């Protein structure tokens, strides 16, 4: 079994921290899922903040739909994830991995998508778009290697490896049971 600190250190010095890199580490070290997701989130948000700070002012003007999708990304993968996860009784690392590059979007229960849309006060399509955009990295990077055909994992498989406590599993079950209607 690999040392946790060594795995996290190796992850931080990866040349490019892309969802594919995270997925590879999650598959190799499922016992460190929570730590890897939290670290990926923290490092991605730092990159996003630097990229957003360098945008010209006129590029920051956005449509209502784009703002809703950005709200989803910030809440699920960014600065709002800690509070959002706490309110729902789930670890923040659980939401970090809910992007379409890690978890196959079609495998996510419709009840989850509806519940997240309701909790975020957005449309289901905004949640889907936010997940498709993943962690929100705004900068395209050149790769030294050819892109891999990494297939996202299924939602059930993701939940199995998320190492949720019984209380967190009950919170997820409650969230899944919420169909988004009042």
What is the value of pTM for the model shown?
A: 0.57
What pLDDT is stored for residue 166 in this prediction?
A: 93
| Cα–Cα distance measured from residue 116 to residue 46, given in angstroms and rounded to the nearest whole number | 25
What pLDDT is stored for residue 143 in this prediction?
A: 46
Task: With beta carbons less than 8 A apart as the criterion, state whether 119 and 69 touch.
Answer: no
Task: With beta carbons less than 8 A apart as the criterion, state whether 93 and 102 touch.
Answer: no
Question: Per-residue pLDDT for the chain (182 aa), expressed as one digit of tens each?
Answer: 689 999 988 988 888 878 888 889 999 999 998 888 888 877 777 666 666 566 555 444 456 778 888 888 888 888 788 888 888 898 888 887 777 678 888 888 888 888 888 988 898 888 888 888 754 443 333 444 555 556 788 888 888 888 889 999 999 998 888 655 54
Residues 90-128 have pLDDT tens digits of 888 888 777 767 888 888 888 888 888 898 889 888 888
The whole-angstrom distance between residue 50's C-alpha and the CA centroid of its chain comes to: 19
| Cα–Cα distance measured from residue 124 to residue 122, given in angstroms and rounded to the nearest whole number | 7
What pLDDT is stored for residue 167 in this prediction?
A: 93
What pLDDT is stored for residue 48 in this prediction?
A: 60
Task: With beta carbons less than 8 A apart as the criterion, state whether 134 and 101 touch.
Answer: yes
| Cα–Cα distance measured from residue 44 to residue 38, given in angstroms and rounded to the nearest whole number | 10
Q: Give kind and range of the element (H or E) at residue 48.
A: helix 33-53
| Cα–Cα distance measured from residue 8 to residue 94, given in angstroms and rounded to the nearest whole number | 17
| Cα–Cα distance measured from residue 152 to residue 23, given in angstroms and rounded to the nearest whole number | 8
What pLDDT is stored for residue 29 in this prediction?
A: 92
Q: Give SS3 for 5.
A: helix
What pLDDT is stored for residue 181 in this prediction?
A: 53
What pLDDT is stored for residue 136 in this prediction?
A: 44
Pick the closest to residue 179 from 104, 132, 124 (CA basis).
124
């Amino acid at each position: 079994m690999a040392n946790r600190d060594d795995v996290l250190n190796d992850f931080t010095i990866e040349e490019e921290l892309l969802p594919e890199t995270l997925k590879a580490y999650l598959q190799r070290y499922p016992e460190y899922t929570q730590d890897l997701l939290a670290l990926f989130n923290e490092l991605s948000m730092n990159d996003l903040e630097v990229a957003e700070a360098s945008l010209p002012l006129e590029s920051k003007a956005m449509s209502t739909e784009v703002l809703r999708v950005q709200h989803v990304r910030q809440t699920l993968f960014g600065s709002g994830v800690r509070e959002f996860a706490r309110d729902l009784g789930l670890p923040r690392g659980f939401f970090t991995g809910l992007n379409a590059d890690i978890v196959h979007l079609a495998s996510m229960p419709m009840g989850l998508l509806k519940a997240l849309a309701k909790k975020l006060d957005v449309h289901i399509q905004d949640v889907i778009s936010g997940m498709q955009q993943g962690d929100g990295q705004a900068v395209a990077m050149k790769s030294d290697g050819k892109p891999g055909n990494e297939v996202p994992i299924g939602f059930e498989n993701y939940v199995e490896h998320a190492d949720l406590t019984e209380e967190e599993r009950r919170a997820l079950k409650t969230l899944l049971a919420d169909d988004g209607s009042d």
